[in-house]
């Protein structure tokens, strides 16, 4: 078997990469270790309506609910409301991630991409020191798949980068460890995605409620792994649910655990190799949202593969165009938000409450880091010291 590109992982990053590569005429194969694309779901399922602009999803079957915006609750329950257009990459639609992922994969297949399920990449193939495909385990058989380009779209646990010498092991400080119930029979008919902060709510993370229909919602938690202990995420989530009268009667339709990288992005290209999506740590370090970036980066990756195949040139020099494009588009934001993550981790509950108090009446029309900082320090000048590193970044 020989392909122009073999893509490891059929998540959004893999399928969108495959779609745009196949569209240029490249011969691409996606391999997926699971038995069904998108299953099991490991996600809060919130995404910005910006996803529509990529035209990679047909129809509306993948949409569970359309959201008006987001609300953030500080430890003392001071509320900040954000309209959807300012609420970042996680608010707009709550989706059915299994259907969502399958629609993206269908789009790739329609453009000519092939898919192999139950097929797990186990190592890279090399010829004369150069990557030229992968070895995979399919049921109980080992197969060689030759390809000029190997794409690691293998998610948070990414091995592909590691095999190529890129350091992908996450420090506990850079991982949110998560658990989520899809609860039904709750009193929660809200057009908002809600986020709850606080050391006693979710250490180093947050609790989220993303509505799916009128009496059902994804209720989940992420806590920073460096602040975690065995089973602590579940402990905090159960405690939160018990404290909310509207959720108490809830019954679970689904339970999932998850791991979300909140790291700085890493090197995403090497000779004959690309990393896309969570594998490249293209996740917002504050919110943990990665769907939009996976789709955007997948588009760039697919287009770069197309050009590389046309020129039959697969070295890092050729493939770097991909890295340049995604870093220009959102690399700076990821870096800035990583700094914000570190600042927020240093804040105690009182400071978070002060922040929320400063922002609760703020009109999020002029949404720049600097304008928000101004609003903050006008009301609570003592916040100034804590926000100095951020101001430097905002001015840079």
Partner 1 sequence: MAKHKAIVKKEKCLACGGCISVCPQDAILWISSKAVVDSTLCNSCSICVKTCPIGAIVWEGTEDAL
Ligand X SMILES: Cc1cc2nc3c(=O)[nH]c(=O)nc-3n(C[C@H](O)[C@H](O)[C@H](O)COP(=O)(O)OP(=O)(O)OC[C@H]3O[C@@H](n4cnc5c(N)ncnc54)[C@H](O)[C@@H]3O)c2cc1C
Give me the residues that bind partner 1 (CB under 8 A), please.
33-34, 40, 42, 120, 155-157, 162, 169-172, 175, 177-179, 223, 225, 228-234, 255-259, 261
Reduce the DSSP state of residue 263 to 3 states and report it.
Answer: coil
> Which entry of ligand X, partner 1, none binds 283, CB below 5 to 8 A by partner kind?
ligand X
The piece of 242-250, 273-281, 334-342, 384-392 that touches ligand X (CB under 6 A) is 273-281
Q: Which is nearer to partner 1, 120 or 307 (CB)?
A: 120
Residues 207, 201: Cα–Cα separation, whole Å? 7
Q: Which is nearer to partner 1, 264 or 321 (CB)?
A: 264
| Residue 44 touches ligand X, criterion: CB under 6 A | yes
Site size toward ligand X, by CB under 6 A: 41
> Which entry of partner 1, ligand X, none binds 103, CB below 5 to 8 A by partner kind?
none
Q: Which is nearer to ligand X, 111 or 386 (CB)?
A: 111
The piece of 233-241, 258-266, 325-333, 340-348 that touches ligand X (CB under 6 A) is 258-266
For the CB of residue 17, give the shortest distance to partner 1 in the complex, in Å: 20
Neighbour-count burial of 141, counting CB atoms closer than 10 A to its CB (0-12 exposed, 13-18 middle, 19+ buried): exposed
Could you tell me the CA-to-CA distances from 142 to 115, 138, 145, 238, 289 in Å, in that order? 17, 6, 10, 43, 35
**Nearest-5° angle of CA 156, CA 216, CA 94?**
45
> Which entry of ligand X, partner 1, none binds 232, CB below 5 to 8 A by partner kind?
partner 1
Q: Which residues contact 384 (CB under 8 A, 6 or more apart)?
A: 377
Binding residue (CB under 6 A) for ligand X from 84, 87, 153, 247: 153
Residues 193, 80: Cα–Cα separation, whole Å? 12
**Nearest-5° angle of CA 356, CA 66, CA 189?**
70
| Residue 259 touches ligand X, criterion: CB under 6 A | yes
Binding residue (CB under 6 A) for ligand X from 263, 291, 301, 390: 291
| Residue 31 touches ligand X, criterion: CB under 6 A | yes
Residue 288 · residue 222 · CB < 8 Å: yes
For the CB of residue 374, give the shortest distance to partner 1 in the complex, in Å: 38
| Residue 14 touches ligand X, criterion: CB under 6 A | yes
> Which entry of partner 1, ligand X, none binds 230, CB below 5 to 8 A by partner kind?
partner 1
The piece of 40-48, 76-84, 315-323, 358-366 that touches ligand X (CB under 6 A) is 40-48
Binding residue (CB under 6 A) for ligand X from 294, 304, 337, 351: 294
Residues 10, 23: Cα–Cα separation, whole Å? 17
| Residue 103 touches ligand X, criterion: CB under 6 A | no
b/e string for 90-127 if b means 16 or more Cβ within 10 A? Answer: bbbbbbbbbbbbbbbbbbbbebbbbbbeebbbeebbee
| Residue 355 touches ligand X, criterion: CB under 6 A | no
Residue 312 · residue 306 · CB < 8 Å: no
Query: 198 - beta bridge partners?
Result: none
Residue 206 · residue 341 · CB < 8 Å: no
| Residue 12 touches ligand X, criterion: CB under 6 A | yes
Binding residue (CB under 6 A) for ligand X from 5, 6, 7, 13: 13
Residues between 198 and 237 with contacts to ligand X, criterion CB under 6 A: 220
Neighbour-count burial of 264, counting CB atoms closer than 10 A to its CB (0-12 exposed, 13-18 middle, 19+ buried): middle
| Residue 161 touches ligand X, criterion: CB under 6 A | no
| Residue 8 touches ligand X, criterion: CB under 6 A | yes
Residue 21 · residue 5 · CB < 8 Å: yes
On the CB side of 2, CA atoms within 13 Å amount to 2
Binding residue (CB under 6 A) for ligand X from 4, 23, 32, 296: 32
Residue 276 · residue 12 · CB < 8 Å: no
Q: Which is nearer to ligand X, 283 or 319 (CB)?
A: 283
For the CB of residue 230, give the shortest distance to partner 1 in the complex, in Å: 4
Binding residue (CB under 6 A) for ligand X from 3, 4, 11, 186: 11
For the CB of residue 299, give the shortest distance to ligand X in the complex, in Å: 13
| Residue 133 touches ligand X, criterion: CB under 6 A | no
Helix (H) or strand (E) holding 114: strand 114-116
């Amino acid at each position: 078997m020989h392909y122009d590109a073999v893509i490891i992982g059929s998540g959004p990053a893999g399928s969108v990469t495959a779609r745009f590569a196949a569209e240029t005429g490249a011969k691409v194969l996606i391999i997926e270790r699971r038995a069904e694309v998108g299953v099991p779901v490991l996600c809060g399922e919130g995404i910005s309506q910006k996803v529509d602009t990529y035209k990679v999803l047909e129809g509306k079957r993948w949409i569970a609910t359309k959201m008006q915006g987001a609300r953030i609750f500080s430890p003392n329950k001071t509320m900040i409301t954000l309209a959807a257009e300012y609420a970042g990459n996680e608010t707009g639609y709550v989706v059915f991630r299994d259907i969502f992922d399958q629609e993206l994969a269908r789009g790739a297949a329609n453009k000519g991409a092939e898919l192999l399920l139950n097929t797990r990449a186990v190592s890279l193939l090399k010829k004369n020191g150069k990557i030229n495909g992968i070895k995979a385990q399919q049921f109980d058989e080992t197969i060689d798949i030759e390809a000029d380009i190997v794409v690691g779209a293998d998610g948070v646990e990414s091995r592909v980068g590691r095999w190529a010498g890129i350091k992908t092991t996450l420090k506990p400080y850079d991982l949110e460890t998560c658990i989520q119930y899809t609860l039904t029979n709750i009193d929660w008919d809200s057009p908002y995605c809600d986020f709850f902060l606080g050391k006693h709510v979710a250490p180093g993370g947050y609790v989220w409620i993303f509505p799916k229909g009128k009496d059902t919602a994804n209720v989940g938690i992420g806590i920073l792994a460096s602040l975690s202990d065995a089973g602590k995420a579940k402990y905090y989530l159960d405690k939160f649910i018990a404290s909310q009268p509207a959720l108490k009667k809830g019954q679970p339709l689904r339970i999932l655990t998850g791991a979300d990288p909140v790291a700085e992005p890493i090197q995403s290209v090497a000779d004959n190799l690309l990393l896309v999506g969570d594998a490249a740590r293209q996740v917002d370090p504050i919110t943990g949202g990665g769907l939009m970036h996976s789709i955007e980066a997948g588009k760039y990756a697919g287009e770069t593969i197309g050009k590389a195949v046309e020129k039959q040139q697969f070295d890092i020099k050729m493939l770097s165009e991909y890295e340049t494009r995604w870093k220009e588009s959102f690399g700076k934001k990821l870096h800035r938000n990583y700094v914000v993550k570190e600042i927020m981790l240093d804040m105690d509950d009182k400071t978070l409450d002060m922040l929320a108090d400063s922002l609760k009446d703020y009109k999020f029309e002029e949404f720049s880091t600097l304008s928000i900082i101004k609003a903050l320090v006008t009301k609570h000048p003592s916040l100034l010291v804590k926000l100095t590193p951020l101001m430097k970044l905002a001015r840079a």
